[in-house]
Amino acid sequence: MTSALLSIRNVSKSFADVDALQSVTLDLNRGDIVGLVGGNGAGKTTLLRLLCGLYQPTDGEVTYIDENQVEHPIHKVRSNLGVVPEATGLYSRLTAWENIRYHSRLNNVPDKKSWNRALRLARALDIEDDLQRPTRGFSRGMRQKTALIRALAHDPEILLLDEPTGGLDVTSARRVRDLVRKLGEEGRTVIYSTHQLNEAEQVCDRIIIIHNGTLRADGSPKVLMELTNTDSLEDAFVNLTQDDSREVDVAEPDSKLQRFWTRITTRNNPPKGGGNDS
């Protein structure tokens, strides 16, 4: 029997006169691998930012439910979250391992424990030999893999992925999908945002379709196809999103917290003490 881990209740998010999300209600369960599917401007990124506590809802609430069925505001349990944004925000002067180690230390993870976990994940993603290289020369795919390891180094219960295979070649993308499936088997909850329907169908056992800020469907690929009387997830998606899409993604003007976060995760200078690992 599955139990709810994240509760999203009547959540709306508005920016000026634009409704980015409208009255979304969902329960995300422990061990779910959830595909968050929608086109540009659908509201996927807004929902991810609400789920990690970066945004506060205009209406409604997002809560984390612990094993004792006690609800907590999502911003108070961020240590349970691992986030891979579309922009990785790696320190370019630091090695991959130093980026991972810095993030782990922020989450009070001992270096040895972080290294062992990073090494295991790097082997799974085939970048073990690159852990001691500065990330400045990394390809987009290698940066994406490093960001994924960084997000997992503190062993989070929930993983939020925004287009995790963007920029990856076929083999690397398959490695990421295999790792995500393994995380699900271990009981992790993964929210996998993508506009690639075939990828969502391969990885996810549950698909949530967001379109123009509204929840259009929630169920397994098979259920969505039965609901729309179609033979493919792509046809089901088209059937459920026939109204014209918004042309651009909506975004809130950066708050002081967001500007600070952007600054510390994208600057070229490393944090103090970011020397080579001994």
For the cut 50, the answer to whether the pLDDT of residue 275 exceeds it is: no
For the cut 60, the answer to whether the pLDDT of residue 268 exceeds it is: no
For the cut 60, the answer to whether the pLDDT of residue 42 exceeds it is: yes
What is the residue-averaged pLDDT of the chain? 85
**Confidence (pLDDT) at 277:** 45
For the cut 50, the answer to whether the pLDDT of residue 47 exceeds it is: yes
Going by the DSSP 8-state scheme, the letter that residue 267 receives in this structure is -
CB atoms within 10 A of CB 154: 21
Cα separation, 2 vs 4, whole angstroms: 7
Cα separation, 63 vs 27, whole angstroms: 10
**Confidence (pLDDT) at 255:** 54
Cα separation, 264 vs 256, whole angstroms: 12
Q: Kindly list the domain boundaries of the chain, sorted by start residue.
A: 4-264
Alpha helices in 36-161 (DSSP H): 44-51, 96-106, 111-125, 140-152
**Confidence (pLDDT) at 50:** 92
Question: Are the beta carbons of 176 and 141 closer than 8 angstroms?
Answer: no
- Written as six digits, the tokens of 55 are 């945004």
**Which region holds residue 135: left if phi is over 0, alpha if psi is between -120 and 50, else beta?**
alpha
User: Which tens digit of pLDDT belongs to each residue from 113-168?
Assistant: 999 999 999 999 999 999 999 999 898 889 999 999 999 999 999 999 998 887 78
CATH class of the structural domain 4-264 = alpha beta
**Confidence (pLDDT) at 260:** 54
**Confidence (pLDDT) at 116:** 95
Q: How far is CA 25 from the centre of its chain?
A: 19
The pLDDT confidence band at residue 266, using thresholds 50, 70 and 90, is very low
**Confidence (pLDDT) at 276:** 45
For the cut 90, the answer to whether the pLDDT of residue 88 exceeds it is: no
**Confidence (pLDDT) at 267:** 47
